[in-house]
Amino acid sequence: MIMSKQTLDRILQSQGFGARKYCRALIDEGEVTINGQVAADYAARIETDGLVFTLFDEEWTYREHLYIALNKPANFECSRKPSHHPGVLSILPEQFSWRDVQPVGRLDHDTTGMLLLSDDGAFIHAQSSPKRHVPKIYVATTQEPVTDALIESLKSGVQLHDEPAPLAAQTCRQIDAHRLEIVLEQGKYHQVKRMLAAAGNHCAALERIAVGGLTLAHLGLEEGEWCYLSPEQLALLMPAA
């Protein structure tokens, strides 16, 4: 295995703790410890593989890229420049913004549930590509009662005014009188809400509970909570063979 060593100031910068000048000042002031020892030399070359350091009395693990799942609450915007509500990045540690962490796709401000975020451009592009056919599972609460006719319309396809062909749910099942589970692959703008409206109902609330094989239940996240994704969890985001 090839070892990867970097100077300590570059490590802190790469992890989103600020410009190199500021990171050097943190090191000079004795704010960084590694293995219980103050790391006072910003030019020291440190092995990044498995590196754990303490800064601001908090322990951090070096991560080349960030892969995060957030259980998004309502009334947060999936934008780096929110206009009417707080941005989802305000829920995460401040240094993640320095790392250019971005949402993978978007959920409406009033939609809750699983949102992926990363600073890995290739990962964001791959997850956002419609060619990957990754299913996303939603639970929709409807204004009018769920009927068999509604479910059949969603499964067979409904025509949206700006789409060339009808859009259909991959699967759709009733949960109770006013809730149904919808599985989609396309990810069009406001798709669930617009499909329900086209089928003669109205979406009163919407939650995304899974992306690919990764579910909120599996992650155990309450609303507003987030976690790093392990390689095993990332693998669940891949479409089934």
**CA distances, 194 to each of 73, 148, 162, 201 (Å):** 21, 18, 11, 10
Total Cβ atoms within 10 A of residue 9: 24
Residue among 63, 108, 113, 120 nearest 224 (CA):
113
52-55: strand order across its sheet: 37-38, 32-34, 52-55, 58-61
Structure tokens at 100: 């250019």
Tell me how far apart the alpha carbons of residues 152 and 140 are, in angstroms, rounded to a whole number: 16
Count CA within 13 A, CB hemisphere, residue 198: 22
108 catalytic per annotation: yes
**CA distances, 68 to each of 42, 140, 232 (Å):** 29, 24, 13
Residue among 88, 85, 51 nearest 72 (CA):
88
Total residues belonging to the chain? 241
Which is catalytic among the residues 108, 110, 120, 176? 108
Q: Can you tell me whether residue 40 is helix, strand or coil?
A: coil
Q: Which residues are catalytic?
A: 108
